[in-house]
Chain A
Amino acid sequence: MSLHTLTVCQLRDKIRTGEVSSREATQSLLDRIATVDGKVKAYNWLNDDDALAQADAAKKDGALAGVPVAIKDVLNVEGQPCTCASKILQGYIAPYDATAVRKLREAGAILVGRTNMDEFAMGSSTENSSWGTTRNPWDLTRIPGGSSGGSAAAVAADEAFAALGSDTGGSIRQPAALCGCVGLKPTYGRVSRYGLVAFASSLDQIGPFTKDVRDAALLLGVISGHDPMDSTSVPRAVPDYVAALERGVKGLRIGLPKEYFIPGMDREVEAAVRTAIRQWESLGAEVVEISLPHTDYAVAVYYLIATAEASANLARFDGVRYGLRVKGDDVIDTYGKTRGAGFGSEVKRRIILGTYALSAGYYDAYYLRAQKVRTLIRRDFEKAFAKCDVIVTPTTPEVAFKAGEKSGDPLKMYLSDIFTISVNLAGICGVSVPCGFAHKLPVGLQIIGKAFDEETVLRTAHAYEQATAWHKERPVL
C-alpha cells in the first residue's frame, strides 16, 4: 500500500509510532501529485523543497503530527502565494498565517501546496480560475464542482491526505459531493475567518475535505475555537469531535425536507439518497418529514447578500498597495484598468450585481428585503429542528457536469448550489459524505445540523460510513 492512500488518522498514527516519517509521507504525496496532477490540475502552487523542509522540522506529538494538508488558494499561508485564482493577486505572497492555518501548523501539519478554486470563491465548477480548470478525478472531461474544486479533487485523487476549503454557499459540500469525498461546512463562528480572503463575510466559513468522517472530525477539532482576531468567532468550548463519533444513531430523528425532493432531480441521485436513508433506519434512526417553506427564495436571497458583501470586500484590490497594477492616466483610470485586467468576468458580474443591490433607491427593495427573507429561512430551520435532530438532503440535484456545459449560463450554474445555500444563510452546519454513484459518478449526501451541533452531524455521517463502503471507492487515474 502506498502511503498517499492513507487517511490522516492512519498516517498520523504511523508517524507517531515512528513506523513512517513525515518526510516519507510527504515525498510519497509529492510523487503522487507529480504522477496525476498533470491530468487533475488540483494545485496552483507547490514547493517540494519547502514541503520536505517542513516535514523534517515537524513535531511528532501534535494532533496532525507530520501530516501534509493542502490549502485552498484563498487562505493566507505566510511566505506562500495567495492568489484566490485571480490575476489581480498574481505574485502576491501572504505576509501572515490565517488563524486556521496557524492552528494546523501548531498541530504539526505540513502545508504542502495551494489548491485551485473559482476566482475569489465565486463559482460552482472551478472553471472561473485564472490558472486553468481543475478536472474531476472520476471523469476528466467533467468539472470537480466549486469553488473549492482543487481541494476536493486533490483529496479524491489521493493527491492530499486532507485539504482546507471555504464554503460561502456550498463551496465545500458541493465539490466534495461531486468528487466523492467528505466536506464539512462548520457553523458560522465555529472557525475563525481571520486570514480567509473574504467573499461574503456573513456567509464564509472554513472547513475540511477528508477521505472519511473521522478525519473531518479530527481536523474540525484542530481549526475550531474563538479567535480574538475574528469578532464573529464564538467563544465556545471545542468539543472532542472524534470521541463524539461513536455514539451511534439509535433514536436519532432524521428530517427530510419535502421541498428538497423536487421534480427534475436526477433519479439516480434521488435513489442513492433514499437508499442511504433506509440505511439509517436500519441502524435505529427515525425518519420524519419536515418543511422548509422559504427554500425557493434561498438562491435569490443568497445572490443579493453575497454579491453586496463581495462588492465591498473586493474593493481593496485596487493596485495601490499590492497585487496587479495597470497604470492609467490618473488614479481613477488606474483603478479601472487594474480591476478591468485583474478580475475575471464572473467576479465582475457579482461586483456589479452587489453594487447595484446596495445603491441608493434600490437598497430597500433588494438588500434589506433579502436580509428579511434570510431571517425567515433561519426560522424555517429553527422550527424544523424542533422536530428532528439532523436534516438530510442530496448535496446537489445532479452529478458532476461536463466542463463548459454551464459556463455560458450563470443562472444554471447558480442553481447547482440550490441544496447547500440555505445552510449558509441560516449560519448552521452541514457535511457532505459519499453515498454511492449515479451515472458512474459520485453522489453526495448532505447532513445538516443545528448551530454548533457538528457532533450530531458527524456522528450521523460516521454511523452511515461505518455501515457502507462508498467512502473507500477511489477513481482510477
Chain B
Amino acid sequence: MEYEAVIGLEVHVQLKTHSKMFCGCATAFGAEPNTLVCPVCLGYPGVLPVMNAEAVRKTILSGLMLGCEIARFSKWDRKNYFYPDMPKNYQISQYDLPLCKGGRVGKFGITRIHLEEDVAKSFHFAETSGVDFNRAGTPLMEIVSEPDMRSPEDAFAYLTALKEVLIGGGVSDCDMEKGQLRCDANVSVRPVGEKKFGEKVEIKNMNSISGVRRALAYEIQRQIAAVKRGETIVQETRRWDDDTSVTSVMRTKEHAHDYRYFPEPDLMPVEVSAAWLAEIRRAVPELPEAKRRRFVAHYGLPEYDAEVLVADASVAAYYEQAAAGSKNPKAISNWVMTELLAKFAENTIAPAQLAELVAAIDAGQISGKQGKEVFAEMFATGKNAAVIIQEKGLAQLSDAGALEGLVDQALAANPKSVADFKAGNAAAINFLKGQVIKLSKGKANPQLAGEILARKLQG
C-alpha cells in the first residue's frame, strides 16, 4: 500500500520591535544575561502588562501580506502552565479571537496568526540550571498553517516563501540561528486516497529550514515503517536531534497540558479601527511573487533575472531606480547580476550612474569591453562614467568624417584584402575593419567603421 504524509506547521516569529510586548524593555539578541529586564517582564508581584501597539501593527501587516482576514475585534488570553522560563507561569496569548484568520503562503493555506509573548531562555549547567529573561516578553507571532503539505519539500517551500514575505515586509529578520523564526511540525501518514487524517505527531526542536526538511523526511519514513509493521501511531510530541538525525518521544497525550485558557483581565480587547487598518494597508509592500511578475512584464526581463533581482528587496529597489532612467532595462539587469550582486553591500555606484554607463555603451561612445573598465573605476572612485571616459580617453571615434579618412588609409594600404573582398571573400572586410581600429588606436566605433568600409567597397 502507498502512504502519503499530511503536514501542518506552527511557525513562531519574533517581531522586529524596539521594545517588548508588554513592557518598555529593549529587545536585543546577545546582551549580557538578565540585563534587558524589569519588574514587568520578570513577573514581579503587582505588575501589569501594557500592550505594544507596534507589535499588533506588524502582526496585522503580516496578515495583510499573507491575505488573511483581519479581526476588527480581538482579545488576549492567559495560557497557564508552570515552567521556569515563564515569569508569571502563564503566557499572555490569544486563544479564540486571534488577530488574523485564513490566508495563504503560495498554494498552502494559513489557519490563523496570533500574537503572544516569548518565554525566557533556559541554560543547563553541570549542577544547576539558569534562566536568562532577556528574551522573556519579546513579541512573538504564531502562524499556524492548514494541514496542506504532503512532503518535506512542501514544508521547505512554505517556510522559504513565508520567510521571504516576512523579511520583505520588515516584520522580522527571521534569523533561525538567533531564534527569530522557530518551527514546530505536525505530521501524520495515511494510505493514499484515504480522506481521514492519521494520528498526528508533533515535532519540536528544529533549528533550520533544512532541519525541518530532514526531520520530516525521517519522521514520515518512521511512521510509514511503523504502520507497515502493523503498529499504531499515537498522538505524541517528539524531539528532533539534528546530530543523530532522529526524533524521539518528549511526551505523550496523557501528559498533554490543560492550559486553562481564560480572557486576560489586565488588558483591554484589541479593537482595530477602519482608519488604522487602512493606514496599515497602505504600508503593505509589494509581495515578492507580484514583484517578479511585474519585473517580467514591465521591464521585459527573463524570469530568471526577475527571480535573482527580487530575491533581495534592496537589490530589487536598486534595479528599479537604475532601470527607471534607462532605455535598456535588460542591460541594467545584466550589469546588476554579473558585476554588482556579489559586492552589493559595498556598492558605491548610484543607480543613475549605472544607467549612464549603459547609455554610453548603447550610444557607441565606448565598447562593452571598455564599459567594464569604466565600471571598475566607477566602483573604486564613485566618479561618473563621462568623467572616467574623458580621463582615460576612452571615447570611441564615431565621427563619420574622421573615420572615412582612416578607412581610405586602410583600403590604400591593403589592396590584397580589397581584391579578396571583391572576389567574393566577404570575411576580408573584418580584416580591414581591424586595420581601421588599429589606425584609430582602438577608438574607432567598430560598427560605424564596418558600415563605411562596406559602402566604399561595394560602391
Give me the interface of A with B, judged by CB distance under 8 Å: 75-76, 82, 84, 89, 92, 94-96, 98, 193-198, 200-202, 228-232, 308-309, 311-312, 315-318, 320-322, 331-332, 335, 355, 358-360, 363, 367
B88 near A: Cβ within 8 Å?
yes
Interface digits, B264-295 against A, CB 8 Å rule (1 contact, 0 not)? 01111000000000000000000000000000
Interface digits, B233-265 against A, CB 8 Å rule (1 contact, 0 not)? 000000000000000000000000010111001
Are B46's CB and A197's CB within 8 A? yes
Are A312's CB and B266's CB within 8 A? no
Are A230's CB and B39's CB within 8 A? no
Are B39's CB and A96's CB within 8 A? yes
Which of A201, A308, A315, A331 sits near B266, CB closer than 8 Å?
A: A201
Given contacts A92-B45, A312-B78, 11 further A-B contacts (CB under 8 A): A76-B46, A94-B45, A96-B44, A194-B48, A196-B46, A315-B89, A315-B90, A316-B43, A318-B84, A321-B42, A355-B260
Are A231's CB and B265's CB within 8 A? no
Q: Smallest distance from the beta carbon of B153 to chain A beta carbons, Å?
A: 37
A75 and B45 CA atoms in complex are apart in Å by 9
If A308-B262, A355-B260, A358-B262 touch, does A321 touch B45 (CB 8 Å cutoff)? no
Please give, as numbers and ranges, the residues of chain A lying within 8 Å of B87 by CB-CB distance: 316, 321
Are A95's CB and B262's CB within 8 A? no
B47 near A: Cβ within 8 Å?
yes
If A315-B90, A358-B260, A360-B258 touch, does A198 touch B39 (CB 8 Å cutoff)? no
Task: Bin the interface of chain B by size.
Answer: 20 to 34
B411 near A: Cβ within 8 Å?
no
Please give, as numbers and ranges, the residues of chain B lying within 8 Å of A202 by CB-CB distance: 265
If A202-B265, A315-B89, A367-B262 touch, does A194 touch B84 (CB 8 Å cutoff)? no
Chain B contacts with A in 64-115, Cβ cutoff 8 A: 78, 80, 82, 84, 87-90
If A228-B50, A232-B268 touch, does A312 touch B45 (CB 8 Å cutoff)? no
Q: Smallest distance from the beta carbon of A236 to chain B beta carbons, Å?
A: 14
Are A312's CB and B262's CB within 8 A? yes
Please give, as numbers and ranges, the residues of chain A lying within 8 Å of B211 by CB-CB distance: none
If A201-B265, A232-B266, A321-B87 touch, does A316 touch B45 (CB 8 Å cutoff)? yes
Are A359's CB and B258's CB within 8 A? yes
Question: Total A-B pairs in contact (CB under 8 Å)?
Answer: 99
B51 near A: Cβ within 8 Å?
yes
Q: Smallest distance from the beta carbon of B95 to chain A beta carbons, Å?
A: 11
B434 near A: Cβ within 8 Å?
no
Q: Smallest distance from the beta carbon of B2 to chain A beta carbons, Å?
A: 37
A5 and B39 CA atoms in complex are apart in Å by 38
A197 and B47 CA atoms in complex are apart in Å by 7
Interface centre among B45, B48, B78, B84 (most CB of A within 10 A): B45
Chain B contacts with A in 93-142, Cβ cutoff 8 A: 129, 131
B49 near A: Cβ within 8 Å?
yes
Please give, as numbers and ranges, the residues of chain B lying within 8 Å of A98 by CB-CB distance: 46
Give me the interface of B with A, judged by CB distance under 8 Å: 39, 42-51, 78, 80, 82, 84, 87-90, 129, 131, 258, 260-262, 265-268
If A231-B266, A318-B89, A360-B258 touch, does A198 touch B46 (CB 8 Å cutoff)? yes
Which of A82, A200, A230, A320 sits near B48, CB closer than 8 Å?
A: A230
The prevalent SS among residues of B at the interface is: loop
Which of B44, B50, B80, B89 sits near A358, CB closer than 8 Å?
A: B80
Q: Smallest distance from the beta carbon of B42 to chain A beta carbons, Å?
A: 6
Please give, as numbers and ranges, the residues of chain A lying within 8 Å of B89 by CB-CB distance: 312, 315-316, 318
Q: Smallest distance from the beta carbon of B426 to chain A beta carbons, Å?
A: 85
A221 and B368 CA atoms in complex are apart in Å by 81
Which of A92, A229, A312 sits near B90, CB closer than 8 Å?
A: A312
Please give, as numbers and ranges, the residues of chain B lying within 8 Å of A96 by CB-CB distance: 39, 44
Least CB separation from A322: chain B residue: B44
A231 and B45 CA atoms in complex are apart in Å by 17
Q: Smallest distance from the beta carbon of B393 to chain A beta carbons, Å?
A: 68
Are B43's CB and A321's CB within 8 A? yes
Please give, as numbers and ranges, the residues of chain B lying within 8 Å of A308 by CB-CB distance: 262
Please give, as numbers and ranges, the residues of chain B lying within 8 Å of A200 by CB-CB distance: 265
Q: Smallest distance from the beta carbon of A294 to chain B beta carbons, Å?
A: 21
Are A231's CB and B84's CB within 8 A? no
Please give, as numbers and ranges, the residues of chain B lying within 8 Å of A316 by CB-CB distance: 43-45, 87-89
If A231-B266, A367-B262 touch, does A315 touch B88 (CB 8 Å cutoff)? yes
Please give, as numbers and ranges, the residues of chain B lying within 8 Å of A94 by CB-CB distance: 45-46
A311 and B50 CA atoms in complex are apart in Å by 21
Q: Smallest distance from the beta carbon of B214 to chain A beta carbons, Å?
A: 31
A sample of 27 cross-chain residue pairs with beta-carbon separation below 8 angstroms, ordered by A number, consists of A76-B46, A89-B45, A95-B39, A98-B46, A195-B47, A196-B46, A197-B45, A200-B265, A201-B265, A201-B266, A229-B48, A231-B49, A231-B267, A309-B262, A309-B265, A311-B80, A311-B260, A312-B88, A312-B262, A316-B88, A318-B82, A321-B42, A321-B43, A331-B84, A335-B82, A360-B258, A367-B262
Are B39's CB and A320's CB within 8 A? no
Q: Smallest distance from the beta carbon of B193 to chain A beta carbons, Å?
A: 35
Q: Smallest distance from the beta carbon of A473 to chain B beta carbons, Å?
A: 35
Please give, as numbers and ranges, the residues of chain A lying within 8 Å of B49 by CB-CB distance: 231
If A201-B266, A231-B51, A315-B82 touch, does A76 touch B45 (CB 8 Å cutoff)? yes
